[in-house]
Amino acid sequence: MRTCRIESLGVSLSHRHFGRWGSVRHAVEAGRQCLKASHHRKADIGLLINAGVHRDLHICEPAMAVFIQHRLGINIEFQNRGTLAFDLQNGGCGMLDAVQVTAAMLQNGEIEAGMVVASEANSDRQPDPRFAYPASGAALLLDLSPWNDRGFGSFAFHTRDEYADLYTSLVSLAGKHGKIVFQRQAELENKYLTMAGTVVEDVLNRDGLRREEIDFVVPAQLSAGFLTQLPAAIGFPGDKVINLSDRLPDTLSTSLFLALHLTMDSQRPAAGRKALLLAFGSGVTVAAATYRF
């Protein structure tokens, strides 16, 4: 079966912009960067999935992906070539979920190219101080790889629902306008670390890979402390695990692909190099995927 690859990657970081951008604007900016770097035309994109968690003005209908599709100008009118846009929500693992769904549709021949976007921003006037995610956006343009062995390999998602209450985010509607109420227990990162080893083992087994064959590991950048402990938890040497915590704070759903973007910028991985991608999210869910450049 042919594999799905990242044809282009775009990001939007909050420090670049003067003023306060919302989640749609960040997603659109990342999408524009992505389209600029891509060889595909907008009309080729048959699927647009938004995997961001927090939404402008807490709008729950229609899907945020619809606003992003509109502003990116991707098949916005009912015509011969159409695009399906929807939101997929699974916290910090949402983008990997959306990549796998897009890969399925590409492999089935249902679409020619698909875009996965995510963005985070808190639109509250007085935000919950526990909500520490800076606004950001990330976008991927995915298509079928022209090579047999390049692109995404296997995916693995492990969920431990008995820990579901360790991480909750909700919009309180008790007052006007709604307000995000955010709760993240201190032991959450320990749970991620205990689950990460099994997930990595699982995804490597699926691909028949040994740890030595992986050139680098790109995890979501949760915190400096977490990234220091991660290599031991997953059985990789510290120098193989990308740690950008000095440059990149945790940005929730976009974190993994912001880290991948910066890694690709600095390392420019050669063809054939293998990466392991790791995401962590509510549920509690740890997700992993292998990627060959």
Partner 1 sequence: MNHSITGVGATTRAVDKIRIESLGVYLPEKILSMEALLASCRRRPRWDLERITGIHERRVAVGEYAADLGIKAARQALAMSRYRPADLDVIVCSSISKYNRKNEFHLEPATAVRIRAAIGAGNARVFDVVNACAGMMTGISVLQAMIRCGMARCGMVVSGELNMPLAETAAREMRHSFDGQLAALTLGDGGAALVLDPSPDGQSGFQHIDLVTGAKHDHYCYSRPSRRGPGGILVTKARGLQRKGNEHFPAYFKRAMDRSGWTLNDLQHIIPHQVSVRAIENGVRAVSRYLGSVLPDITRCSADHYGNTSTTSHFLAMHDAIVEGRIDSGHNIMLVSGASGIVIAHATYSFDDLPQRYRARFAGGR
User: Is the alpha carbon torsion for 146, 147, 151, 152 positive or negative?
Assistant: positive
Structure tokens that stand for 48 in this block: 């647009």
**Binding string, 194-223, against partner 1, x = CB under 8 A?**
-x--x---xx--x-----------------
Which of 84, 193 has the CB closer to partner 1?
84
- Regarding 141 and contact with partner 1 (CB under 8 A), the answer is no
- Regarding 293 and contact with partner 1 (CB under 8 A), the answer is no
Which of 161, 239 has the CB closer to partner 1?
161
Structure tokens that stand for 11 in this block: 């990001």
* Phi, then psi, of 55 in degrees rounded to 5: -115, 150
Q: Which of 171, 209, 233, 264 binds partner 1 (CB under 8 A)?
A: 171
- Regarding 256 and contact with partner 1 (CB under 8 A), the answer is no
Burial of 127 (0-12, 13-18, 19+ CB in 10 A): middle
Contact 289, 247 (CB under 8 A): no
Site for partner 1, residues 263 to 292, rule: CB under 8 A: 281-285
Site for partner 1, residues 101 to 140, rule: CB under 8 A: 101, 103-105, 107-108, 110
Site for partner 1, residues 18 to 77, rule: CB under 8 A: 48, 53-54, 57-63, 65-67, 69-70, 74-77
DSSP-derived pairing of the beta strands 179-184 and 285-292 = unpaired
DSSP-derived pairing of the beta strands 274-281 and 216-219 = parallel
Q: Which of 127, 132, 134, 154 binds partner 1 (CB under 8 A)?
A: 154
Which of 48, 121 has the CB closer to partner 1?
48
Q: Is 142 helix (H, G, I), strand (E, B) or coil?
A: strand
